[in-house]
Amino acid sequence: MKQKTIIIIGNGMVSHKFCEKIRKKDKVSKIVVFGEEPIRAYDRVHLTSYFSDKTLNQLYLAEQQWYAENDIELHLNNPVTAINRNKKSVISSKGLQLDYDFLVLATGSAAFVPPIPGVDKEGVFLYRTIQDLDLIKAYAIHAKKGAVIGGGLLGLEAAKALVDLGIEESTVIEFAPRLMPRQIDDSASRTLQTKLDNLRLTCLLQKSTSQVLGDDHITGLSFSDNTQIDVDILIISAGIKPRDELATACGLATGPRGGIIVDETMRTSDPAILAIGECALSNDMIYGLVAPGYEMAEVAACTICGEEKSFNGFDMSTKLKLMGVDVASFGDPFIAEPHARTILLDDAHKGVYKRLNISADGKRLLGGILVGEASSYNMLLQTVNNNMPIPADPEVLLLGEKNNSKPAGSGLESLPDSALICSCEGITKAQICDAVTNQGCDDFAGVSKCTKAGTGCAGCVPMVKDLIAHTMKQQGKYIRATICEHFNYSRQELYDLVKIHQLKSYDEVLDSVGKGDGCETCKPIVASILASLWNEMILGRGNDVVQDSNDRFLANIQRGGTYSVVPRVPGGEIHPDKLIVIGQVAKRYGLYTKITGGQRIDLFGAHLNDLPAIWEELIAAGFESGHAYGKALRTVKSCVGSTWCRFGLHDSVSFAIQIEERYRGLRSPHKLKSAVSGCVRECAEAQSKDFGIIATEKGWNLYVCGNGGSKPQHALLLASDIDSATCIQYIDRFLLFYIRTADPLTRTATWLNKMEGGIDYLRNVVVNDSLGMAETWEKEMQELVDAYECEWKVAVRDPEIRKRFVHFVNAPGEKDDTVRFETLRGQKKAADWNTLATH
């Protein structure tokens, strides 16, 4: 191949991708990159994580030596200032002049700043570069009230940044009547706004900012409707404008509203100059996402190397998580009658909105919107992009198969090999499957390194992992889900090893079957396994330092930095004398009291120093830990049953107490909840629990693997009309099977959904003893029951453990004086963030 000189102006993500693509195709040409920032290319998609969990080094797209290894000449902090098309040369701000054979403009875009009086005041920032973020971070230290102008994708990302920086009161201001107006509809916007309101992020819609208030620095904003708000820091994220000034200056054709006009090969009006990314105007469209920019980079590399490839538009589907809220749109999200049929799921209670647009003949999915829950996004997107047929009852796409029995990864086999799984890198199903089948990759890290799938926006990662598992299963390979780099075992394998070797502490486990120093992933998993196996005091044997934060202090940390106290009330039954003690303790320590949905009394607002003394009084009155802080049995809820209710068939209270006292303190991969109902009227809501029991005329029905929460699921019938002893036998077997085989932090419902054979297989194991483990599991459960001791009873009697419960090691008696409370209906509550700002 003849050597050429290829100059790239711009050093962002798309420029970097072009360098990768062109160097793969052309090993000999000279490649020169000019960037105006003083640092090398970094990940702008995950820019907000710079405020939370990522450093600049983690955001870089390549190490410094990568440029030398690929013979790429990089000029940082040295933007090109002029292009001479006649001489085919460029000149930089530092006076460097170079000739080119091909010039690639990857100048990106700049923030659009509305012409608002006062936008030049101190405390007003843009949100585009690392330098912008450094300035925001430095200024935010002294700010308490923040605002963002712009309620689109970037605006909401900027709002998240303010939250991550600890700004106590933040407001999003949007001129349009809804948030994310290009991606979601009015109903979806309302759902999203409710979610953000709950996170204390105020959204002002249809607001036109008329002035930035303040003298030298910002103090507030006024609006055209004569209202105003106080603001200490403002981020403007009201849209982008393509950086086309160099192109305009050298006479290249640009659009009437900006953007460098390109054809399908990414050539501009000058065939020696190409444009890619957010500066390029393709078919009257500026693409503001990274995936189409990467596709443009591929097309431009092909054009320069004489290969045929064209850019003919790009799917703008997107999925992101905004402050923990899933938001996604795909295909045509807005098409409506008479061109399509619309299926809606609008659950205001759970904050979930889903919209599917179905073709008029009901045979194809055209697009949709997902807010609040978007786990099905990847498969729905593939269904649209590959024009795949949909079920005769298309609502299944929203609600899932009956009883959630559809196996994980189902539908993958129907995807064509050409299906684009990773749009950022242009990786197809066939390429991912080939990496697994022919290149020896058996996990996501290996496939990602081999294909680069999932290295862009990361939205495709769940589907890539499903494809890997699906392909390996087709090949008959064993799929191992190892815990982390320090333990090359699954949780189930590690559980067995700890049991076989009789290991009792984290250090013993790490020394015997692990490697390295451990991490925050494996420590709580091993701690959970040890507690599940031996039922010893979790803070003993040096295991205190590996527990989750709540387990470490035997209490849930709450808003404001205080802790909750939750004594066990088996079956919800409590003696009046114990009620009086709870009241006395709450008054003595100034605690907020609430009866929970699990039939217990929670006490909130306890200082760390006071926890041992509080529990000492409660234990003296006969209470014990309710394990609200642990991955353990929480409650066994009950109705009054036959003792009082005229419909009750059996004594549900007594049975609930028996069940709760049997399994109290049992540690498991996730929390466990149970209930006993005295009749089919189900007042105790047994079918929404991990295991629930309902009285029948002939005995008890046992239901398993249900849960409430963000993804509620009804429990399924395991056995019917059984006596109390048999019911307990089956629960013993069920719980031990779950504890031994479930992945970390997996609820019983999810565990069952992933189980081959589903409830029928589980019934065969538990009821019919198909694995021959029933006797072993019952014996092991009895050993755990016999070993139980209340953790708080041990803690208050052990001087060494009591020493843990101090705010300040050098002043053990001092309480945290930064904790603030407010009064609510005669009780105290944690102070709101905006109230804290005044202290």
Structure token digits, residue 786: 């016999």
Q: 279 among the known binding-site residues?
A: no
Q: Of 60, 27, 26, nearest to 46 (Cα)?
A: 60
Residue 547 neighbours by CB under 8 Å, 6+ apart: 523, 524, 527, 538, 539
Q: Of 723, 661, 669, 665, nearest to 693 (Cα)?
A: 723
Q: Give the separation between CA 758 and CA 237, rounded to whole angstroms.
A: 48
Q: Of 765, 759, 767, nearest to 719 (Cα)?
A: 767
DSSP 509: H
Q: Where are the beta strands (DSSP E) in 623-771?
A: 633-638, 672-677, 691-696, 699-704, 716-722
Residue 20 neighbours by CB under 8 Å, 6+ apart: 297
Q: 441 among the known binding-site residues?
A: no
Residue 306 neighbours by CB under 8 Å, 6+ apart: none
User: Are residues 460 and 329 in contact, defined by beta-carbon separation less than 8 angstroms?
Assistant: no
Q: Of 501, 549, 555, nearest to 527 (Cα)?
A: 549
User: Are residues 736 and 777 in contact, defined by beta-carbon separation less than 8 angstroms?
Assistant: yes
Q: Give the separation between CA 652 and CA 641, rounded to whole angstroms.
A: 5
SS3 84: strand
User: Are residues 513 and 525 in contact, defined by beta-carbon separation less than 8 angstroms?
Assistant: no
Q: Give the separation between CA 165 and CA 162, rounded to whole angstroms.
A: 5
Q: Give the separation between CA 718 and CA 244, rounded to whole angstroms.
A: 66
Q: Give the separation between CA 439 and CA 102, rounded to whole angstroms.
A: 36
Structure token digits, residue 695: 């009285």
User: Are residues 354 and 369 in contact, defined by beta-carbon separation less than 8 angstroms?
Assistant: yes
Q: Give the separation between CA 112 and CA 125, rounded to whole angstroms.
A: 12
Q: 19 among the known binding-site residues?
A: no
Residue 234 CA from chain centroid, whole number: 27
Q: Of 42, 23, 243, 300, nearest to 292 (Cα)?
A: 300
Secondary structure in 3-state letters for 718-748: EEEEECHHHHHHHHHHHHHHHHHHCCCCCCH
Half-sphere exposure of 584 (CA within 13 A, CB side): 12
Structure token digits, residue 157: 């990302």
Q: Of 693, 617, 614, 590, nearest to 650 (Cα)?
A: 693
Secondary structure in 3-state letters for 300-334: HHHHHCCCCCCCCCCCCCEEEEECCEEEEEEECCC
Dihedral sign of CA atoms 133, 139, 140, 143 in order? negative
Q: Of 2, 27, 8, nearest to 73 (Cα)?
A: 8
Q: 683 among the known binding-site residues?
A: yes
Query: For tokens 């097309």, what's the residue?
Result: 299
Report how far apart, in Å, the C-alpha atoms of 422 and of each of 370, 439, 448, 452, 643 are: 20, 19, 10, 9, 60
484 bridge partner residues: 487
| Annotated binding-site residue numbers for siroheme | 683
For the annotated binding site, the residues are 639, 645, 679, 683
The annotated binding site for [4Fe-4S] cluster is made up of: 639, 645, 679, 683
